[in-house]
Amino acid sequence: MKPVIGISSNLKEQVLSVSMDNIHAVMEFGGVPIVLPNMEEIESIAETIDGLLLTGGGDIDPTLFGEEPHEGLGSITPERDAFEIAVIHRMMQLNKPILGICRGAQILNIAVGGDMYQDIHTQIEDKLLQHTQQAPRWHASHYVQVTKGTVLSEIVQVEKMKVNSFHHQALRDIPSDFVVSAVASDGIIEAIESKNHTFVMGVQWHPESLMLKNDLASSHILKAFIDACKK
């Protein structure tokens, strides 16, 4: 049977939304996509789905990692934050695959005890790359260095790759049970993965959009995630 993939969704004014790029990416590699509702049926959801795709979206409540709102913080959705953290915990207990994309990588890191920059442009003094690119979503705009010996390096089979970039928040402190698996040239963490789970990974870019132009590394990441869900 095809694996059932739960896809997290944006919530604004009581309306759920999710990019069709995520749904097409899941279907491309043999998964059955189900959009998750940001509701409290955590146990039933985690038991039903074979894998969790944490999608991009708005900012994350900084009180979840012990900070108050920075002036550069954008709009947050407390219901989504709470739901995703709860379902991440349960999926990790069950050792079911998780792939976090952009915001999804950030909420994954927070769920396991890490933290983040609320606004990299005002909280980091060093000169940064353009992390909110002024180009189509399918365009890869900057490079990342992939960490040798990681699951990500095994998947993409390259030491350096180009990614797209649509964020002003970023990962900061990573828990000891995780490892940084890709970094941009300006030091921004671009990917993390669990040391103790079969497949729990977060990437700061959007592989589901890069697939539109047949980006091989992005396709390999999404295929590896779906393949892990099949097992």
Instruction: Return the active site residues.
Output: 102, 206, 208
Long-range contacts of 148-154 (CB under 8 A, 24+ apart): 150/179, 150/181, 150/193, 151/181, 151/193, 151/199, 151/201, 152/181, 152/182, 152/191, 152/193, 152/201, 152/203, 152/221, 153/181
Best CA proximity match to 52, nearest among 18, 16, 3? 3
Give the bridge partners for 189, in sequence order: 183
Distance CA 130, CA 114 (A): 24
